[in-house]
Chain A
Amino acid sequence: MEIESVIGLEIHTELSTRSKMFCSCSTRFGSSPNTQVCPVCLGLPGVLPVVNEEAVKIGIKTCLALNCEINRYTRFDRKNYYYPDLPKNYQISQQYIPIGVDGWVEFEVGEEVKRVRIHNVHLEEDAGKNVHEEGKNFSLVDLNRAGIPLLEIVTYPDMRSMEEVNSFMNELRNILIYIGASNCKMEEGHLRFEANVSIREKGSEELGPKVEMKNLNSFKSVLQALEYEIERQGARLRRGKPIYQETRLWNEEKGESYPMRFKEEAQDYRYFPEPDIPPLEISETMIEDIRATLPELPLKKRERFVKEYGLSKREAGVLVEEKEISCFFEEVVKACPHPRVVVNWIMGPVMRELNERGLTIGESKVTAAKLARLLEMVKSNLITQTNAKYCLHEIFDSGEEPEKIVQKRGWTQVTDAEEIEKIVREAILKNPRAVEDIKNGKKTAFGFLIGQVMKLSQGKANPGKVREILERELGSSSKGEG
């Protein structure tokens, strides 16, 4: 029996607003406990929430990017439950009329474009954090995070494999970054997941009992937890044991999940409309104004890169993966209209430098203009590929202009035939054995000799010219070597 898994995700994403959802406290990460709090986010008696307009706008923008319908009349609701990190013992969320419904995300899985439908998108506030210190008989509560705006994105159970889940999460993350909704820093908890999964015989239309998985704080834990769960359910199915509808907590360290206790699971959140916040009316103008600010989304950008610049799907994928890189690419191409050269340089030396230095392109000293001018020099044979790479390295170090570096280092390429002839002759004189070998048909010796010429020219000789002249001087026919 071939088993198919049916997977849906809930994604909690922390929005990139400067202030909290219902008060003006800062959302900065990593401050000392309870320093970014006020009566409102502490939930003191008598306080009232005031909706952060920026968060609503980002919510709408996200809905538009996810092809959702915007509820023109949207409302907040209270989700009631007791927990020490929840100062009011209710969370302001959106249960009945969320900001957006019925959208979808399209993304590529291999050669295919896959669509996952979005059930709803809603705004809510984050809770604080309980801190349990080893050996203490008390816990501490940090409320800096309480009230930070979250957007929860709920999908339909439209995913069927780990590969789809992975691609979906990547695509969604990219979209959120592209539209500026969230910085999606995993280590700061900007993206948190809940997953639900059931299994069934492939081809069946019925859904099996749904198991919900909580506490998934990275892509890795989503994938591991799902794999674990699918395996667990599969084993039960094969042994003829029943699968129960339940909620399970993922334990990252142990790499296993365990069922939540009944008491934890059987929550009745007693949702009801938040009386402190009148319903929001979202005008057509507001929606259109926000729509006008939507940037090109990753999928469209990839398609355009393939078409417009003649890139391969893989290349387009790598560039578009990081919004900054894709913008950088286009800027460079604007000044140096050789997309193939540019893509090779960005995916090669530039990314290598970035990785080694642990920087993003924006943080580095390389600008699109500098790279473009460097590549123009390569293109017009003013500098060799090898020296261009050294030059790039130096730009990364100092941010100096490429022309200055090349001049300072004397890397201007020698293309003058006479000058190269001189060096070639010198190399021939110095390496009689290699010349002998070439004459005896040993092809590798030709490459060796080119190397010697380059060395004598301190890397400045144009390799094409060197080959041409060397061939002529030796009168050999050893072509295609290098």
Chain B
Amino acid sequence: MSKLPFLPAHVLSGMVRKGEISFSDITSEVIARLEAQDKSINAYISRRLEAAREEAKALDESLARGEDLPPLAGIPLAVKDNICTQGFLTTCASKILYNFVPPYNATVVEKIKKEKMIIIGKTNMDEFAMGSSTENSYFGTTRNPWDYQRVPGGSSGGSTAAVAAGESIVALGSDTGGSIRQPASFCSVTGLKPTYGRVSRYGLVAFASSLDQIGPIARDVKDAYLLLKVIGGYDRCDSTSLPLPLPEEQLNGKVRGKILGLPKEYFSEGIDPKVKEIVEKAIKIWQEMGCIVKEITLPHTKYSVATYYIVAPCEASSNLARYDGVQYGFRNPEYTITGQNPVIDMMEETRDNGFGSEVKRRIMLGTFTLSHGYFEAYYLKAQKVRTLIKEDFEKAFQSCDFIVTPVSPTPPFKIGEKISDPLKMYLSDIFTIPVNLAGLPALSIPGGFTEQNLPVGVQIIGKPLDEYGILNLGFAFQEATDFHKRSPHGN
């Protein structure tokens, strides 16, 4: 088996420029992996393999002509299927958008195209990004490349599985409550959730607008940083995007003297002992590099899941209202045209048959909490708690540079294990959710493996806009370890 699909983009780019391999080699090898195993893994919902091959060939020709190409040109990329691609199916893994072809590109896709990266296909996910296992997909569950019996995490499970399995080199995911970091942890890849507003959301099909953020998924920190620089930056089409320049410094691994805050609330009961052990080992590695470790407290952590499950469903219930069968997507064919109000019947039956059960659950939750008489008690209260959670982090960051935590309380769980118990599923995001509520940047890096060879990630949370800082801390770790270099097929 070729090693190419398991090398990071920055290495591949160098090899191409040295003439050791061609862009076509990379794309063909990635496609070969995809064809060999995606029937089992199911990372992709739709593919554009021929177009990818042609694009790679055209880039080889450009290079031969001596043209200048951007750093990530010719690198295969997988795009989560909730990011709009012009003229190419974008389903959100939902029946209700099973046939939706957007007439426009998301801003990040425009930027990817400008960088001349090669889109391999659109990846599987939990329907409308609602879930932590990629089991809530109309197009079937994605399997974890490290153990087919287990989930890849979610909701960006297709993207992380694709990168882990060598079916892509890098990928785009979206993170509303941990949807990049938790599957990155489960699949042993590097995933970054940028500061809210760093990356334009224009063209990201909205789940919870005040929490959603697109981010890079990659084999290592260096690639994640390169990809962030491609997709990030101010966009006038997104009023919530930040009019600030992206970091430009090189990663140097200099972390001596940095203070790592360990929130005591994150290392308490409910966490798998092996996960705890791996995270503590990682902390030791940083200590050996000269980092200072300090216990901190984030006292409102215990309210974060409850807060999230009010804020996110409220926004979702409104964001998903547009899927009614009127203009695009699925329309239930058997609505009763003779009914009292045929239009309402059509909408109701379309939504009833078009959405999966988790999506319906959240729409109902949100509709209820926004309704007259409950709005103040739920939505407004949740917003207040959200502010408290944010203030927890502000206070904590007065005495530390980074906060280091587990990504998920457990290693990847078995398919079907939590799907019938929503509350259990929701709690698997307990360490990632507060970060979204506070709008902070956070990174998930491979931290080690359990005895059963299941990946466990480590989360680094940064101050607002300090993507560079957390990436550099991650970079230092990856310079000292090789977990990120391991592939599910051994190395």
Contact = CB atoms under 8 A, between A and B. Distances in A.
A415 to B, nearest CB: 71
Given A272-B379, A277-B239, A278-B239, A46 B321 contact: no
A50 B375 contact: no
A44 B106 contact: no
A405 B473 CA distance: 89
A42 B327 contact: yes
A276 B240 contact: yes
Contacts of A270: 317-318, 367, 370-372, 375
27 contacts: A42-B327, A43-B322, A45-B102, A46-B83, A46-B102, A46-B203, A46-B206, A47-B104, A47-B203, A48-B237, A50-B236, A50-B237, A51-B239, A78-B318, A87-B326, A89-B322, A89-B324, A90-B321, A268-B371, A270-B318, A270-B367, A270-B372, A270-B375, A275-B209, A275-B210, A276-B240, A277-B239
Interface of B: 82-84, 90, 92, 97, 100, 102-104, 106, 201-206, 208-210, 236-240, 314-315, 317-318, 321-324, 326-328, 337, 343-344, 347, 367, 370-372, 375, 379
Contacts of B370: 80, 270-272
A51 B236 CA distance: 11
A46 B202 contact: yes
Contacts of A139: 343
Contacts of A271: 370, 375
Contacts of B367: 270
A84 B240 CA distance: 28
Contacts of B104: 39, 44, 47
Given A45-B100, A278-B239, 20 more contacts: A45-B102, A45-B322, A46-B83, A46-B202, A46-B205, A47-B104, A48-B240, A49-B239, A80-B370, A82-B347, A84-B324, A84-B326, A84-B343, A87-B322, A87-B327, A88-B322, A272-B375, A276-B206, A276-B240, A277-B239
Complex A-B, nearest 5 residue pairs according to Cβ-Cβ distance, in ascending order: A89-B321, A275-B209, A270-B370, A275-B210, A45-B205
B92 A88 contact: no
Contact of B92 (A39, A45, A268): A45
A276 B314 contact: no
Nearest to A264: B341
Report whether over half of chain B's contact residues are helix, strand or loop; otherwise say mixed: loop
A169 interface: no
Interface residues of A, number: 30
Contacts of A88: 321-322
A407 interface: no
A137 B84 contact: no
A297 interface: no
Given A48-B202, A50-B237, A82-B347, A275 B324 contact: no
A19 to B, nearest CB: 14
A141 interface: yes
B321 A137 contact: no
Nearest to B235: A48
Interface string A82-112: 1010011110000000000000000000000
Contacts of A84: 324, 326, 343
Nearest to B91: A45
A51 B103 CA distance: 22
Contacts, number: 102
B364 to A, nearest CB: 12
B244 to A, nearest CB: 14
Contacts of B238: 48
Contacts of A277: 239-240
B239 A46 contact: no
Contacts of B372: 268, 270
Nearest to A84: B326
A82 B344 contact: yes
A40 to B, nearest CB: 8
A51 B237 CA distance: 10
A272 B205 CA distance: 19
Given A84-B343, A272-B375, A48 B239 contact: yes
B90 A278 contact: no
B343 to A, nearest CB: 6
Contact of A46 (B204, B236, B315, B337): B204
A278 B347 contact: no
A141 B328 CA distance: 13
A47 B90 CA distance: 13
Contacts of B106: 46
A46 B84 CA distance: 7
Nearest to B203: A46
A48 B214 CA distance: 15
Residue of A47, A89, A137, A271 ringed by the most chain B CB atoms within 10 A: A47
A281 B370 CA distance: 26
A62 to B, nearest CB: 23
Interface in A188-239: none
A276 B203 contact: no
Nearest to A40: B237
B90 A45 contact: yes
Given A48-B238, A49-B239, A275 B315 contact: yes
A239 B109 CA distance: 69
Contacts of A43: 322, 327
A271 B314 CA distance: 10
B239 A276 contact: yes
B328 A44 contact: yes
A276 B209 contact: yes
Contacts of A46: 82-84, 90, 102, 106, 202-206
B347 A39 contact: no
A49 B238 CA distance: 7
Interface in A276-315: 276-278
A82 B102 contact: no
A272 B314 contact: yes
A357 B321 CA distance: 51
Contacts of A82: 321, 324, 344, 347
Contacts of B205: 45-46
Nearest to A266: B372
A78 B210 CA distance: 14
Contacts of B314: 272
A89 B321 CA distance: 6
A271 B106 CA distance: 28
Contacts of B347: 82
Contacts of B206: 45-46, 276
A209 to B, nearest CB: 20
A275 B343 CA distance: 29
